[in-house]
Amino acid sequence: MLVGLSTPLIVGWFFSHHLYGLHLTPLEGRGFNLGATDNELINKCEVVWNQGVWWSLLIGATVAGTLSYLFARRIVQPLIQMEKITQQFAQGNLTARIPKSEIPELNRLAINFNRMASNLEGVEQRRRELIEDLTHELRTPLTILEGSLEGLADSAIEPKTELFERLARETARLGRLVNDTQELSKAEAGYLPIKIQPIDLHPLLLSLMKRFGDQLLEDGPVLRLEYPPNPPLVSADPERVEQILVNLLGNAVRYTVNGSITLRVWSEPPKLWIAVIDTGHGMKAEDLPFVFNRFWRSERSRIRHPGGSGMGLAISQRLVMLQGGEIMVESELNKGSTFRFSLPLA
């Protein structure tokens, strides 16, 4: 504003009277006798011009200053509000959000801040839930270990092989809880390494079928593989895909007494689908929304297999998502369950 207003003043101050004199010279050649009035005209013109310039400067500075103040206030007020909200957020109020602004640049800043705040709030919420769930799950084995060890120390419990086997199972359960919690935390935070590469799933599936087939008894469920001829390659991490299938097949073997367990593969471009279908005891419809939650297990599974950590499906879901796929479940009580997930084609 200052440069814009001072420029015409400086230019007019040094050049206006000279330029005015140059324009008066042609008038003398056309019959006008200026004579001694030439300098007086130039002086009067310079006085009038200076007065006009000063009034212009005064009015221009007033208008420009007022508009600058109004626009600056319009910008500064949202910035002050942003400062207060960020201070609240820094003090632990993770629900603080910046309202929308009429200024596009500030509105984009508010949107980015609110997105970051939502992500941090979600991380904090998951951290609290993880601590609460882990505390709840650790309480049972720790109580068993503490009671048994105190009984042994007081000679109130006779040291038997069955007791030590039970203590060993509870210790192994604690170890699984710690390992699964660590892996799930890395997966949810995005720190779990995923090495995406084109892979052929057929050798991996054959290896898994042999591994789990050896675990099944003669009167147990039948293990089947339904694999299409010449299937396309997928973009995935072979170790993580194996980990997902081990979790799904392990659950199917654990909860299927008889009938069949089918590993089915089919292609629906741009994805390849893999399903684990069992004829086990299944789940209730109201339980399905919680299947992929941390530490969740149905009441029947807790009774039949109390040693599980309840995080296998949660880990599998995160691993599928990190590889660009999705996982779904369908189940009916006393008829079986179907877990299917997708992987992007290479």
Mean pLDDT of each 10-residue bin along the chain, 346 residues long: 69 65 61 59 68 75 84 84 89 87 87 89 76 72 84 85 84 79 72 87 92 80 90 92 91 88 93 94 88 68 50 86 93 92 94
Q: What is the CB neighbour count within 10 angstroms for residue 318?
A: 23
Q: Which helix (H) or strand (E) holds 263?
A: strand 260-268
pLDDT score recorded for residue 303: 43
| Cβ-proximal residues to 241 (8 Å cutoff; 6+ apart), any chain | 199, 201, 204, 323, 343
Pairing of strands 234-236, 271-278: unpaired
Three-state DSSP state, 229: coil
Burial 167-192 (b: 16+ CB within 10 A, else e): beebeebbebbeebbebbbebbeeeb
Alpha-carbon gap, residue 302 to 314, rounded angstroms: 17
CA torsion 44-45-50-52 (nearest 10°) is 110
| Helix-helix angle 161-189:104-153, to 10 degrees | 170
Sorted by sequence, the CB contacts under 8 Å of residue 216 that are 6+ apart come out as 223, 253
Residue 309: partners with Cβ closer than 8 Å, 6 or more residues away: 137, 173, 176, 177, 180, 295
pLDDT of residue 14: 66
The two structure tokens encoding residue 53: 């310039």
Q: What are phi and psi of 214, to 5 degrees?
A: -70, -20
Report how far residue 130's alpha carbon sits from residue 186's, in angstroms, rounded to the nearest whole number: 12
Percent of the chain with pLDDT over 70: 80
Residue owning tokens 């709840």: 136
The per-residue pLDDT for range 213-251, each reduced to its tens digit, is: 877 777 788 999 999 888 899 999 999 999 899 989 988
Radius of gyration, CA atoms only, the chain: 40
Query: Could you tell me the pTM of the whole model?
Result: 0.57
Residue with tokens 């390494």: 193
Return the amino acid letter for 18.
H
| Site of tokens 């892979």 | 199
Angular region, 256: left φ>0, alpha ψ -120 to 50, beta rest? beta
pLDDT of residue 305: 47
- Residue 271, Cα to own-chain centre: how many angstroms? 23
The angle subtended at Cα 97 by Cα 96 and Cα 98, nearest 5°, is 135
**Residue 102 Cα distances to 80, 84, 109, 110, 111, angstroms:** 15, 18, 12, 11, 12
